[in-house]
Amino acid sequence: MLTPEQDQQAIALIRGFAMDAPLHANSGHQGTAMALAPLAHVLYSRVMQHHPQQPAWPDRDRFILSGGHASILQYSMLYLAGYGLELDDIKAFRQWGSATPGHPEVGHTAGVEVTTGPLGQGFANAVGMALAERHLRARFGADVQQHYTFVVAGDGCLMEGVSHEAASLAGHQQLGNLICVYDDNHITIDGDTALTYSDDAAKRFEAYGWHVEDLGEAADDLDALEAGLRRAMAVTDKPSLLVLRSHIGVPSPDFTDHHSAHGNPFKAEHVSRTKAVMGIPDEPFWAPADLVSAYRSHCTEAGQAATAAWQQRFDSASFDRAEWDACWAGGGIAGWDEALPTFEQGEKIATRVAIEKAFNATLAGVPGLVAGAADLTGNTGTKLAGQVAMAPSTPEGRQLYYGIREHGMGSVMVGMALHGGVLPAGGTFFVFLDYMRPPVRLAALSGAKVVFVFTHDSVGVGEDGPTHQPVEHLATLRAIPGLQVIRPADANETSAAWKAAVEHNGPTALVLSRQNLTVCTDGTAVAVGAEVVVDANEPKVVLLASGSEVSLCVEAAAQLAASGIGARVVSMPSWDRFEAQPAAYRADTLPSWLPVLSVEAGSTLGWAKYATDSIGIDRFGASAPGGEVLDRLGLNVANVVARATALVAAHASN
């Protein structure tokens, strides 16, 4: 234990950094970090199981700052505990290339578990982390997986809808390893929460099935904070919410309990007056060397003892090490892909059906796979054969039912992936990307290995009409940096897409059909992003397509050939994978001297990069049988033949 004097010095240092870093950057949020300095100190120095020199140790407790705007609080703790941040990093807060960006970013700063900032996302990520820990504990034993997920969330997090979805799921799953401290400071940017917020959060979480305890005015009482956290840790059948009445900006004589403390950096005179109240030197980035040394030694020694004990347990545990390694790699056991299904040319099968066959064929070889859907498990191909549901009584289950909670599902999956040991795949209709785009974006920003399964991918949905026909969504996904997007042409490309997802070090979106598609490829286009599937001796036009339109183009090419026009058909399931190929391959696949007609049942936005002309859907769909909607919107052989013929004629005249 640190001495009482060191406790108080550490809290003063954190509060000093919380003011100095935003002042130095002329940007940032000091108030919450100042208020929660004692809580963070108690978590890192007394409660959490962690090792600063081994930040990726599998059995560490996870800490998530859901209100990522208070990032200086976490950076202060990582500096104090010895995770590699030094004073120059704190001084570079919010600057280009620094290890201390405006909001915490996983993979960028050691000790940061998830990327937070959009409020509520971190809270939902924490639910995913707790699910992953309990699942792995059930599969591999408590000797190697038994830890807690601690998340700090504020009023903004609890107002955002995603927190409601995630909290409901966590209560239903009885996640006793999840502890949330609700920073009840009564402040938002606009002012007192009374302006907009009259919920009784405690009763709401009790209704979700959480254990709730009001810690009251304990924000500066270290022993009370520790005792409250340990009581919550002793509750094994419910997640816990600890309500902590804090005072933003404390102990500032100017801005305590004032909304200005949230996002407006204190001026130098305000910082000076606060440091006088705190009794510390009025100097920027005050950090006594003896305190920092003692703090780091304390955290390192505790971490070394914990990891050494864990290693002994791990070495003597009896479980399949190949399975453990594959789970933690988010990949497959050697040779897993040999079980992938293949399909006969001419066979008709929806790609949403093909993905289910691929999942089930490789269940043993990809042991980390946990699949589910937002109440659409059978519809989206995410039903795992012979697997029990993940539930309080069967936490080892690999089938996870998320309920009608797309936003929560996406964010929970990101948390599961970033915890490690689990490869989450979650399905919904493509149009409901609208409800879960934030976690898709954050998965890409975080590099989280999540498989998003989107089915019913266009107007082929049919009678449900334009509310369920996602004509613009492919363009949305393709615009997200770091997201692998694959829209397979048929069942063989779907099988290859699953292989690509497992082998990819980041998130993948699989965009799949509701309707049956004719198998017309061998699946190899997925590996390179685009590939010729039909060619002519002397092609005069390229028909470039993805998904359900590839087989349409194959039919059109046959008709064009009969009229003397040679057509090359290129299946392009993945723009991003194609762009990663050498320039020579790309030029050979799409020669500059040939006109290109792209064909896709969605927005034409972006196709101009590859195509001379485009057939697509730049309007909303309609309610009618799917085949009729496609036909009336020009996604038919006759229109492709006519447009290709006109394109060839125009090209010849130039």
What pairs with residue 153 in β-bridges? 182
How many residues are listed for the chain in this entry?
654
DSSP state at residue 388: P
Question: Reduced to 3 states, what is the DSSP secondary structure of residue 210?
Answer: coil
CA angle at residue 525 from 519 to 529, to 5 degrees?
135
Whole-angstrom distance, CA of residue 439 vs CA of residue 403: 17
Torsion angle (degrees, nearest 10) of CA 222, 225, 228, 230: -70
Contacts of 429 (CB under 8 A, 6+ apart): 376, 379, 380, 454, 455, 456, 461, 468, 470
**Of 105, 133, 406, 600, which is the active-site residue?**
406
Neighbours of 296 (CB within 10 A): 17
Residue for token pair 């696949």:
589
Question: Reduced to 3 states, what is the DSSP secondary structure of residue 23?
Answer: helix
Task: Classify the C-alpha dihedral 229-235-237-238 as positive or negative.
Answer: negative
Question: DSSP characters for 479-522?
Answer: TSTT-EEE--SSHHHHHHHHHHHHHSSS-EEEE--SS-EE----
Q: C-alpha distances in angstroms, 594 versus 533, 542, 566, 644?
A: 16, 7, 11, 12
The CB-side HSE value for 279 (13 A sphere, CA atoms) comes to 5
Q: Is 406 a known active-site residue?
A: yes
Tell me how far apart the terminal alpha carbons of the chain are, to the nearest angstrom: 82
Contacts of 285 (CB under 8 A, 6+ apart): 16, 17, 20, 21, 87, 90, 91
Question: Reduced to 3 states, what is the DSSP secondary structure of residue 134?
Answer: helix
Nearest CA-CA partner of 180 in 110, 119, 224, 122: 122
Task: Classify the C-alpha dihedral 616-620-625-629 as positive or negative.
Answer: negative
Q: Cα 615 vs. chain centroid, distance in angstroms?
A: 33
Pairing type for strands 187-188 and 149-154 reads unpaired
Q: C-alpha distances in angstroms, 351 versus 291, 375, 528, 640?
A: 60, 19, 19, 23
Whole-angstrom distance, CA of residue 63 vs CA of residue 46: 14
Q: Cα 441 vs. chain centroid, distance in angstroms?
A: 7
Query: Within 252-366, where are the H helices?
Result: 260-263, 268-278, 289-316, 321-329, 351-361
Consecutive H or E run containing 445? helix 433-446
Residue for token pair 């997007």:
485
Whole-angstrom distance, CA of residue 354 vs CA of residue 21: 53
Residues involved in catalysis: 406
